[in-house]
Chain A
Amino acid sequence: MPSEPIIREWLVERAILGELPEGVELTEAERRRKDELQAQDAGILRSYPASVVAARVRARLDEASTPPAVPLWRVALPVLGPLSALAVALLVVGLPESTLDRPLSSKHQPETTRIKGSGLVVVRKTDAGTEALRPGDNVAQGTQLQLAVRLVGPAHAVVVSVDGRGIVTPHLPDRADGPAPFLEEELLRLPHSYELDDAPAFERFILVSSAEPFESALVIDAAEQLAVDPAGAREGQLVLPDSFTQQDFLLRKVSTP
């Protein structure tokens, strides 16, 4: 048992606010603590003024609730359509033969349900070749991942990841702007493998697809907004129009021995 009397800070705080539950009384130590804390209040409000905090809170709320700006494609569809197709063509032509086009390691055949539906396919590079990962698998810093996008039909798609530090990384396209590539293949291996850094806790890949063209910046912005909150980064949905499909693939980061 603790030797010093426990000060119930939560009750002390309520006493300061005059919201102490009926019938509850503070101990002598808690009354002294109340005086100490009350003396801090003015200093806290000077250091962090209400006007400044309120403005920041309002701004963050506005950022989160503002619907995405009208995408460029709505006004420039005739131009962007061919550009998207060109981007995809370049992407495909530049690809080396994919390990994903061949059967994966026989020891780790992916589940049929995952490979047949649309979504992300993630494989880990190993000394022996490749190993298919499942959502929730453990991975460590330094792991080399190869991503692929599986679609049930042609679509415009963007892939980003959010890590445990709230860092957003674009994977498809590998830059934060430009149109979302139009994918016609059933399975597209991304052109670059990805090495996990020392970000803690998790690495979450998110595939956003749509039948209509869109700017990848829309997804990046939404992901950065999501990444502000650690819980959101791990589990939340991107704030995007309903016509967008979102699928994620979360990997748990474990410490390297």
Chain B
Amino acid sequence: MGPDGIDIEAVYTRYGPMVLRRCRRLLKHEQEAVDAVQDTFIRLLRAEERLDGHALSSLLFRIATNVCLNRIRWRRRHPEDPDEALLRHLAEQNGAEDRSLAGRVLRRLFEQQPESTGLIAVLHWVDGMTHAEVAREVGMSVSGVRKRLRRLEIDARRFQEMESKDAV
């Protein structure tokens, strides 16, 4: 048993495959995904993020997403550009005008946005959750989620404009 009386083996046996698939999908790297699974269960056991009435699957999915986003932030400037897959998801599933904007969104996500905004953006644009579903997942109001996403898009557009001006 771990802290908080959680039976790690039992929880892993039930939820581990889901967590690993989540990490594989976001990180696209097997060993990193395996490490991220451990990080996820460590966060769970440290009770850094509470159940708050959510199903354990929901909590672990959220923790795993945050763990992966942190890892992606960390390696963002790696020459292999490993967030390309996530960028593609954003470009394809966002419905945004073009890949360029998605790239700006992603860059803003990984540079200056709080962790919760990154989570919201990925749940909405990558996982296809509606605003209401994201709101339920992260414990915010629907309008709060909409506002965060809108602000992120505006920020990304402004960033894009600034870059365009600089390029002239």
How far is the CB of B98 from the nearest CB of chain A, in Å? 14
Interface flags for A33-56 (1: CB within 8 Å of B; 0: not) read 000010011001100101101101
Interface of A is mostly: helix
Task: Determine, out of B37-45, B99-107, B144-152, B156-164, the stretch whose residues face the partner at the interface.
Answer: B37-45
* Bound CA span A166–B20, Å: 23
B111 to chain A: closest residue by CB: A252
Interface centre among A16, A54, A60 (most CB of B within 10 A): A54
In the assembled complex, the CB of B60 is this many whole angstroms from the nearest CB of chain A, namely: 10
- Does A90 sit within 8 A of B, measured CB to CB? no
Name the residue on A nearest B94 (C-beta): A2
User: In the complex, which of the residues A8, A40, A201, A233 contacts B129, with contact meaning CB atoms closer than 8 Å?
Assistant: A8
Chain B binding site: helix, strand, loop or mixed by DSSP? helix
Using Cβ atoms and an 8 Å threshold, which residues of chain A touch B20? Answer: 44, 48
CA distance A10 to B64 in the complex (A): 12
Mark A17-34 against chain B: 1 for CB-CB distance below 8 A, else 0. 101000000000000000
List residues of B (58-110) whose CB comes within 8 Å of A's CBs: 58, 61, 70-71, 73-78, 92-93, 95
**B16 near A44: Cβ-Cβ < 8 Å:** yes
Residue of A45, A229, A233 touching B16 (CB-CB under 8 A): A45
**CB of B113, distance to nearest CB on chain A (Å):** 13
Tell me the count of chain A residues lying within 8 A, CB to CB, of chain B.
38
CB pair A48 B92 closer than 8 Å: no
> How many angstroms between the C-alpha atoms of A14 and B46 in the bound complex?
23
Chain A residues closer than 8 Å to B34, beta-carbon distance: 48
The 8 closest A-B pairs by CB, nearest first: A230-B74, A200-B77, A54-B8, A41-B17, A44-B17, A50-B9, A54-B9, A231-B70
